[in-house]
Amino acid sequence: MLIPTVLFGVPLVASSMLFLSVWPFYRPALHAWLLQLWLAMTVLYFVAGWIILLANYYRAESLQERRRIGALCTVSVLLGLIILHNFFVRNWTGWFGSAPPALFSPMTFVVEAVLFLSAALTLTYCVLSQCVRNQQAQGTAIKPTK
């Protein structure tokens, strides 16, 4: 009971304090610390999820299951790259004081949108192909005799 509370409770409390400001006395220094904690936990969860997907990829027995897990690994890396790109596009001028290069220009938001759509379609493919596989497995199962 303690581990789920620590793993999921800390980010939930940090998120509520950051975005809803439930504290009666506003302390910006505490909010900056919570934002750093929230970012660290998010990165930790993302990396842990990707490692688990990668471990399952190498454990997969069937080729179809390996394809689905490989697609999920690819999509998770793609989403991470989209997030990093978005982060750099929005903060480039403030950090470096110059105009962003072509790779980080605001026009690349269109490319991000297309990649995000392909990620959503890949996730849909993985879910639907798993549903079809489960239905086929139920149809070929041995039925008990009466």
Token digits for 122? 């890949």
Residue 59 has pLDDT above 80, yes or no: yes
Mean pLDDT of 34-41: 80
3-state secondary structure 67-134: HHHHHHHHHHHHHHHHHHHHHHHHHHHHHHCCCCCHHHCHHHHHHHHHHHHHHHHHHHHHHHHHHHHH
Mean pLDDT score across all residues of the chain: 78
What pTM was estimated for this model as a whole?
Answer: 0.65
Reference 126, options 52, 55, 69; nearest CA is: 69
- Distance (Å, rounded) from C-alpha 78 to C-alpha 86? 12
Cβ–Cβ under 8 Å, residues 38 and 13: no
pLDDT tens digits for range 62-90: 888 888 888 888 898 888 888 888 888 88
